[in-house]
Structure 1
Amino acid sequence: MQATVASFSPESRIGTVLLDDGAELPFGAPAFDASGLRLLRSGQRVAIRVRDGVVVALNLATLPLDGPR
């Protein structure tokens, strides 16, 4: 599934993404840390994996998606 970064805090490494239907989902530091990324910017497209309404893995849409399944 893909989404767009809505917000990201580099200090806490948490943020939110917007699904294409407008729904906003949070992601925590573990999902960001597992991506191997150093920074996200608002508007970036990301591939995400969701469990119980929370993003558990994410990466840039053009890169492989690793992390918890």
Structure 2
Amino acid sequence: MQATAYTYDAETRCGSVLLDDGTPLPFDAAAFTAGGLRLLRPGQRVRIEVEGAKDSLRITLVTLQTL
């Protein structure tokens, strides 16, 4: 699934993304670390992996979207 980076805190390695429908979805440090990223800027397109039902999605991986 693709999304757009919305917030990111380098100290906690947590942040949030905006899904393509505009819904914000937070991610924790474990999801950020799983993607191997070192930094994330708001506005970057990312690929995310999620688990859970539609109303309780949880991001398990955040990585950069590449063409």
Whether these two folds match at TM > 0.5 is yes
Supply the AA of the counterpart residue of 1:6. Answer: Y
Alignment match, 1:30? 30
Runs of at least 5 residues in structure 2 that lack an aligned partner in the other structure: none
Residue 20 in 1 paired to residue 20 in 2? yes
Aligned residues: 63
What's the RMSD between the two structures over aligned residues? 1.2
Out of 56, 64, 67, the position equivalent to 1:60 is 64
Question: In 2, distance between residues paired with 1:54 and 1:44?
Answer: 20
Runs of at least 5 residues in structure 1 that lack an aligned partner in the other structure: 64-69
Supply the AA of the counterpart residue of 2:38. Answer: R
Kept in 1, the 8 Å contact 2:31–2:62? The answer is yes
- Identical amino acids, percent of aligned pairs: 56
TM-score by length of 2: 0.88
Q: CA deviation at 1:62?
A: 1.0
TM-score by length of 1: 0.86
Question: In 1, distance between residues paired with 2:31 and 2:51?
Answer: 11
